[in-house]
Amino acid sequence: MKISGVNGKVMRGSVIVAEQVSWSMSGLSQPVGSAPTAFGDTGVKVYEITELAEGGTVEFNGNYDPSDAIQTALATALTSGTHVTDLYLYANTSTFWRVGTGGYILVTKANAVTLPRNNFGTISFSGQVSSAAMEQVGTGT
């Protein structure tokens, strides 16, 4: 089943982050390393998992709304180092992603505003997923 982002949105708790038009996740990744080799070794390098999985990052952007309380709250979360546990990335009304149980998102970029002369201002946010991977809830279209 294909999922469209046409009805996508970003929410903090039960409130929509105003005017966001796209979001993305880098996904879970696993650091690996190769076994040491010595002079004269032959064959193919062997790789193994070297540490805990990396939760990845989330990013979203859209139209800048200086009166939006949630855009302001995300900037405050950045400066205060608040662990955000209630950020939801919706693809549609019945499918969204959230950080897993025990995890949180550290806001790493906020208030990144672009104000072009001939268009609306845009704003972008980024966050580092920590302690648990993002999880999908629902499978609707």
Look at residue 2 in the predicted model and tell me its pLDDT: 65
pLDDT > 90: what percent of the chain? 67
Look at residue 19 in the predicted model and tell me its pLDDT: 86
Look at residue 38 in the predicted model and tell me its pLDDT: 77
The predicted model gives 78-105 an average pLDDT of 95
What are the backbone dihedrals phi and psi of residue 70, each rounded to the nearest 5 degrees, phi first?
Answer: -75, -40
**pLDDT at 141 exceeding the cut of 70:** no
**pTM of this prediction?**
0.85
CATH number of 9-31+45-137: 2.30.110.20
Look at residue 103 in the predicted model and tell me its pLDDT: 96
For the chain, the structural domain boundaries read: 9-31+45-137
The predicted model gives 66-77 an average pLDDT of 94
Rounded to whole angstroms, the Cα distance separating 15 from 123 reads: 18
Look at residue 4 in the predicted model and tell me its pLDDT: 65
* pLDDT digit string, tens, across residues 16-71: 998 899 999 999 998 888 877 777 777 788 888 888 889 999 999 999 999 999 99
**Residue 36: count of CB within 10 angstroms of its CB:** 8
Q: Which residues contact 46 (CB under 8 A, 6 or more apart)?
A: 34, 35
